Structure 1
Amino acid sequence: MMPSLFLAHGSPMLALEDTLYTHFLSDLGGKLQPKAIVIFTAHWEKEVLTVSAIDQTYETIYDFYGFPPELYEIKYPAKGSVSLAEKIQTLFADAGITANLDTTRGLDHGSWTLLYKMYPQANIPVVQISVHPFLEPEKQYRIGKAMKELSNEDVLIIGSGVTVHNLRIINWNQTEPEPWAVQFDDWLIDKMEKQDLISLFQYEKLAPNASLAVPRPEHFVPLFIAMGCGSNQPKTIFRSYELGTLSYLCMQF
């Protein structure tokens, strides 16, 4: 049975970097060898849940600017899976969730930067799914729960986002995390380990510094989706910070 994961994709530069985090991603990919990967990315927003449905090789999307030229030369030539996409659409329909299929969109950096480090050979089929940032946390969780049976079929489900993601107040020279960012993640970890869904679904009201940590929820909601998919006790598998306020908290469910 495959676990579900919440992974921080942080800066696109992680595709080029050689850090503790990139080593963690590489090691994680070595430990988990799925038949297919489903990834919910914070960089694809749709009001109606949308599932990529292609069998051919994805285009690599460079949805960022101002980075070194070599970053734009990286390709992640993974292929999709129409049959898996259609199965996911059926699972959503069975749960009363409407989902569309998309046959044109490539992989954005919320997907390929992580997968480039985890599975550099790009030889595992990938299905990318959009997020709707403004659905209630309980509905995000239900999206994940609808896909739970895929873990029994060796499908790895990843929520790609960031827990503390406030780019307006990052400090490019700061090496230590802001205490408020740590406090927010501490609260999240405590509630996840206790499986206190009631509190987690009310994080905006109950979590310390929630408005600072999550000024906009597109990077945060993949956490609830990954949590809904999970069949295991929540576990912190990596944690670090960059630029004062950018969290690299990763969870396994």
Structure 2
Amino acid sequence: MALPSVSSSISRLTPPSPLLSHNHTLSLLDFIATHGTSKRIARKSLSYSHSSSLLPIRTFRHLGSSHSSSSIKARLHLPRAASAVDSSDAPPQHQPKVANLDDIISERGACGVGFVANLENKASHKIIQDALTALSCMEHRGGCGADNDSGDGSGLMTSIPWDLFDNWANEQGIPSFDKLHAGVGMVFLPKDDGHIKEAKEVISSIFRQEGLEVLGWRTVPVKASVVGINAKKTMPNIEQEID
């Protein structure tokens, strides 16, 4: 997917608003970013004002790695549009905040989430392709096992692709599904065939108790060759239950 330039992206994402009005300025100072292999830290000072949605970087200087453990702080000045008084007289919650960037640099929180959508609400495989591209850029937000291939889990959530399931139903001799009243469940089943049968019976029984009927089980195609050695040891059989 072709991406617009940074400046055009920001200009569209920051339309005229009270926060960026002519009498207010948004400043971001001392942004710290770690460079992977060089083990050095770059400090940038950025400033945005009413005259432009994107201004040049004011400063850019490299600091030695010895500074990474120092008490580096940044001041984020976010004026409130509703406040017409001087910042020194503003309430505490509106005063400039001081952030300890040592904490930000050492942050190791996992889980990254992205969203891809068609603004005209049109389904297409291109959305899946774009989402997979985005997902491949989030490796740094997940964990990895010693085999270097077993991750801690990732995936896509989409609307139900009813055309795909209708094609499958046609191949199985099953009538097309009622999209307004049917549902799809992703089920992880045991590896042993006997246990699979038993698990399906339990699931079907619970559905009947809830007044639902299992219409079919679809085996989910998988590419096991890309699964890590450790993950493959406990990889379940994955099937989709349609009710």
What range describes the TM-score normalised by the shorter chain of this pair? under 0.3
- Based on CA coordinates, which of the two structures has the bigger radius of gyration? 2
TM-score computed with the length of structure 2 as normaliser: 0.23
TM-score (norm: length of structure 1): 0.22
**Relative contact order (alpha carbons < 8 A, sep ≥ 6): 1 or 2 greater?**
1
